[in-house]
Amino acid sequence: MPTLSPSEDLKREYLEAYRSWLQQLEALHRVLLEGERLDPPRLKGLLNREARAKERYERARRRLLGLSPESGDD
């Protein structure tokens, strides 16, 4: 049975979302694990950016895998 290759758009969307999330996650790790200090408003912004980037990554991952957006099988 032949497998369907993801479109170039899906691949690009996934990779961009992954890289964006990784960048935000690395910044969050600098604060949580390495002791980088941020004032509360900046920390809140960082947490929100990381959460949104992860959601974008999860949506792109589900599309790449051909799963429905509502599947929630994380």
Burial 19-48 (b: 16+ CB within 10 A, else e): ebbeebeeebeeeeeeeeeeeeeeeeebee
Domain ranges in the chain are 8-65
User: What's the pLDDT at 2?
Assistant: 52
CATH of domain 8-65: 1.10.287
User: What's the pLDDT at 8?
Assistant: 92
Give the three-class secondary structure for 63: helix
For 45-73, what is each residue's pLDDT tens digit? 999 999 999 999 999 999 999 997 765 55
Are 60 and 20 in contact by the 8 Å Cβ rule? The answer is no
